[in-house]
Amino acid sequence: MRTCLVVDDSKVVRTVAQRIVRELDFETRESINGLEALESCRKSMPDVVLLDWNMPVMNGIEFLRELRTSPGGERPKVIFCTTETDAKCIEEAITAGADEYVMKPFDTEIIRGKFAQVGLL
């Protein structure tokens, strides 16, 4: 089974996201910030990362830049989660190596669509 890493500092968001990706037949892992996510990735690269933007310690962009320069770090698909308030960082995220972005709040259908777009489904 393929794995999805959910990175968000809010447990509520992590819980919701994991429910959704499990429905899509993914195994899930979670991290509460970029730094933890990076450690998790270095141990074992997931197939897809659902990445929050604004997190303490290491935010989504910083994580993404680090990930893409790590060995094997180019492989995972990264879907960047934003809200309308930080929509202006979508461009920054794409430049940093995100494959897709999704607006919060999202639901199963939206995620399914995004996963399909990046070729996971």
Residue number with CB closer to another protein (11 or 75): 11
Identify the bridge partners of residue 27 per DSSP, sorted by sequence position: 3
Q: Which of 3, 9, 28, 42 binds another protein (CB under 8 A)?
A: 9
Among 36, 66, 99, 100, binds another protein (CB under 8 A): 36
Nearest to 46, CA basis, from 77, 7, 80: 77
Q: Is 108 in the site for another protein (CB under 8 A)?
A: no
Could you give the CA distance from residue 104 to residue 121 in angstroms, rounded to a whole number? 21
Listed residue (96, 98, 102) closest to 114, CA to CA? 102
Q: Which is nearer to another protein, 83 or 117 (CB)?
A: 83
Q: Using CB under 8 A, which of 105, 113, 116, 121 touches another protein?
A: 105
Distance CA 33, CA 37 (A): 6
CB of 47 to another protein, least distance (A): 23
Tell whether residue 28 is a contact of another protein (CB under 8 A). Answer: no
| Residue ranges in 45-74 that form contacts with another protein under rule CB under 8 A | 54-57
Q: Which strand (E) or helix (H) includes residue 20?
A: helix 11-23
Query: What is the helix (H) or strand (E) element at residue 62, kind and residue range?
Result: helix 60-69
Contact residues toward another protein (CB under 8 A) are: 9-13, 15-16, 32-33, 35-36, 54-57, 83, 85-86, 104-105
